[in-house]
Chains A and B, each alone.
Chain A
Amino acid sequence: MLNSRLFPCNVLLLMTLISGTAFAAPAEEYVYDLVHSSVSFKARHLDISWIHGRFNEVDGKFSIDREDPSKSSFQLTIKADSVDTANAARDEHLRQPDYFDTKQFPTIEFRSTKVKAIDGGYEVTGDFTMHGVTRSITIELMGGKAIESRGVRRVGFSTELRLKRSDYKFDPKAIGPIGDEAIVIIDCEGMSQ
Chain B
Amino acid sequence: MPDVWLLTTSFVTAMLSAGVSCLLAYRRGTAPDGSGTAAVQLRPLFSLSCGVLAGMAVQGILPAFPLVSALDRWLAIGLPMLMLADVAGCFLHQQLAVRWIKVVAAVAVAPVILYGSVHLQVMPDASAQSGSSSFGLLPLAAAGGVLLLLTLLGDSSAAKPDLQRTAAGIYSGLILLTVQVTAVVVMLGGWIGCGAAALPVTGAGTGLLLAGLLLRQHAAVTVVIRWASRSLGGIIVLGHYFGRLTVAQAALILAAAVIPLLVLRSGRGLQSRGLWVSAVLTLLFLSLVLLPAILEFQRRMAVLLS
Contacts and interface: CB of A to CB of B under 8 A. Distances in A.
B304 A93 contact: yes
Interface stretch (B23-31, B79-87, B213-221, B241-249): B241-249
B8 interface: no
A101 B192 contact: no
Of A87, A97, A174, chain B has the most CB atoms within 10 Å of the CB of A97
Contacts of A88: 300
A47 to B, nearest CB: 15
A132 B194 contact: no
A92 interface: yes
Main secondary structure of the interface of A (DSSP, over half): loop
A89 B304 CA distance: 8
B191 interface: yes
Nearest to A105: B68
Contacts of B300: 88-89
B64 interface: yes
Contacts of A89: 300-301, 304
Interface stretch (B114-122, B145-153, B266-274): B114-122
B242 A97 contact: yes
A88 to B, nearest CB: 8
A4 interface: no
A90 B304 CA distance: 7
Contact of B69 (A92, A132, A177): A132
A89 to B, nearest CB: 4
B301 A93 contact: yes
Interface string A42-85: 00000000000000000000000000000000000000000000
A102 B301 CA distance: 19
B55 to A, nearest CB: 15
A75 to B, nearest CB: 19
A173 B119 contact: no
A83 to B, nearest CB: 13
B32 interface: no
Contacts of B193: 97-98, 171, 173-174
Contacts of A92: 190, 244
Interface in B58-76: 64, 68-71
A17 B196 CA distance: 69
The 5 A-B pairs with the shortest beta carbon distances in the complex, nearest first, are: A132-B68, A89-B300, A93-B190, A96-B190, A96-B191
16 contacts: A87-B304, A88-B300, A89-B300, A89-B304, A90-B304, A93-B301, A93-B305, A96-B243, A98-B190, A98-B191, A103-B117, A103-B118, A169-B64, A169-B68, A173-B3, A177-B305
Interface of A: 87-90, 92-93, 96-98, 101-106, 131-133, 169, 171, 173-174, 177
